[in-house]
Amino acid sequence: MNPTEPNTPFLTTRREFLKTSTKAVAGAALVSAISRPGYTAESNTIQIALIGCGGRGTGAAADALSDKSGPIKLVAMADVFADRLKGSYAEIKKNFKDQVDVPEDRQFVGFDAYKKAMDCLKPGDIAIFATPPGFRWVHFTYAIEKGLNVFMEKPVTVDGPTTRKMLKLAEDAKAKNLKVGVGLMCRHSTARAELLQRIKDGQMGDILLLRAYRMHGPVGSAFTSPKTENDKMSELLWQIQHFHSFLWASGGCYSDFYIHHIDECCWMKDAWPIKAQAIAGRHYRGDCIDQNMDNYSVEYTFADGAKLFLEGRTMTGCHEEFASLAHGSKGSAIISNNGHYPAPCRIFKGQNFVDQDVVWKFPGNEPNPYRTEWNHLIDAIRNDKPYNEVVRGATASLVTSMGRMAAHTGEIITYDQILNSTHEFAPAIQDFTMTSAAPVLADAKGLYPIPQPGKVTDREY
């Protein structure tokens, strides 16, 4: 695949629409020739199964049930922890009483729970994947087999080998006319879409530099103290509970926290970077035993020589920043600031980001993109529009892994190197049971393998 292929925005201008509509008509004819699974005008209730009932899964189910385009209900839930499932069920039921029909015999716990939950759906319904991303390709494989539409959270892969699997699965899903959304919700941001259009119209000249910052104190499960006697669960379940700490489960804090910034910058550049070099370090670790660095400074290079600099730091007491910024030959722009939404997109005539230089600013607040991404997916299902965000989501996940591998090895890593890398972090993941061994194990001192830039250079640990 061409790493610099354009990143199609969800909104097109009328001009672009007219240019592509002839091709689209031909494409639509082809799609309608493929049978449309499940959903019909006669049976228009969309059923949902939630797989991974944590914070985001609960939020994604709520976003789905908030769509007003037609009947939609939650009918099955799956998790590896019963208490997570129960808590999520109670929360969703409280807010969407009549749209939740998940009796105990459709609440499933265990590593095969995903299959049982998807077995409750009919072709054309939607499976939501909000487990740690290491499991994504396993769950997606089964959804395709069952003819289900899917919403999967970001990241969608954690390493090169699983990205290759995901790209193949994207094609299988397309061949079955399945609709698949990926939770890179910034791609559904109205403000960013208008900014992109203005960049394409030349308002900022050529984009030469992008800068992304995600710097804050410890969040999520990225920093983990040693397992204690009180942690009665198995090593595997304990690692899953602390998934930001283990690269096999999440891609680490780098993949989980930085992917949105990397992806939105690449969207504005309308290209994917071809290589990365980076520095990273572990400073104040205390007794933490996770596999993360606590700061990352990454230089991504695009084919035209333009750069994306990413600064990621998870440390208390330091300057904090959460932003993506673009610099062009004729001006600069804010892509995001102080969170993912509302995006305060604006263009400046100079490079200084000062109020008096603002030449365009997105008016008001944009709609919540966590809701908009669902409106787009459900619209595609109800109206049988081609919809598959997997290649984009897998490429964003891969490019994220490219920067992480550069930081963890101390090497320059190219797009082709990360794509073709042979280090699969969790090769037995599809066969996990409650008694399986974990993919990484601690040594006698309770320490897990960590990246050693310059010492271990052909793999990340």
Ligand X SMILES: NC(=O)c1ccc[n+]([C@@H]2O[C@H](COP(=O)([O-])OP(=O)(O)OC[C@H]3O[C@@H](n4cnc5c(N)ncnc54)[C@H](O)[C@@H]3O)[C@@H](O)[C@H]2O)c1
Provide the binding-site residues for ligand X, judged by CB under 6 A: 51-57, 78-81, 84, 111, 113-114, 130-133, 135, 153-154, 183, 185, 240, 256
Q: How far is the CB of 454 from ligand X (least distance, A)?
A: 29
The residue among 59 and 123 lying less far from ligand X, judged by its C-beta, is 59
Among positive and negative, which fits the CA dihedral 74, 250, 268, 9? Answer: negative
* 39 vs 135, beta carbon nearer ligand X: 135
Whole-number Cα distances in Å, 75 to 72, 104, 122, 316: 10, 11, 11, 42
Provide the minimum distance between the beta carbon of 429 and ligand X in the complex, in angstroms, as a whole number. 8
Closest approach of ligand X to the CB of residue 122, in Å: 21
Residue 104 contacts by C-beta under 8 Å, 6 or more apart in sequence?
Answer: none
Closest approach of ligand X to the CB of residue 249, in Å: 8
Nearer to ligand X, 113 or 191 (CB): 113
Residue with tokens 């109800």: 382
**Residue 322 burial (CB < 10 Å; 0-12/13-18/19+)?**
middle
DSSP letter (8 states) at residue 416: H
Q: Which is nearer to ligand X, 123 or 220 (CB)?
A: 220
Distances (CA, A) of 116 to 39, 76, 93, 112, 131: 21, 9, 21, 7, 15
Q: For residues 230 and 235, what is the distance between their CA atoms, to the nearest angstrom? A: 12
Cα 233 → chain centroid: 28
CA triplet 156, 423, 452: central angle to 5 degrees? 105
For 218, the token pair is: 């410890």
- CB nearer to ligand X: give 131 or 336: 131
For CA atoms 416, 418, 423, 426, give the dihedral sign. negative
CB of 209 to ligand X, least distance (A): 25
Shortest gap between Cβ of 447 and ligand X (angstroms)?
23
Query: For ligand X, which is the closer residue by CB, 39 or 137?
Result: 137
Give the other-Cβ count within 10 Å of 105's Cβ: 9
Which residue number places its CB atom closest to ligand X? 54
163-167 contact pairs (CB < 8 A, 24+): 163/394, 163/395, 163/397, 163/398, 163/401, 163/418, 163/419, 164/419, 165/137, 166/136, 166/137, 166/140, 166/390, 166/393, 166/394, 166/397, 167/1, 167/390, 167/391, 167/394
- Least CB distance to ligand X at residue 419 (A): 21
Q: Return the number of the residue (84 or 176) whose C-beta is nearest ligand X.
A: 84
Cβ 135 to ligand X, closest distance in Å?
Answer: 4
- Minimum distance of ligand X from residue 418's CB (angstroms): 19
CB-based contact 72:99 (threshold 8 Å): yes
Name the residue nearer to ligand X (CB basis): 194 or 264. Answer: 264
Between 81 and 360, CB nearer to ligand X: 81
Q: Is 70 left (phi over 0), alpha (psi -120 to 50) or beta?
A: left
State which amino acid sits at residue 8. Answer: T
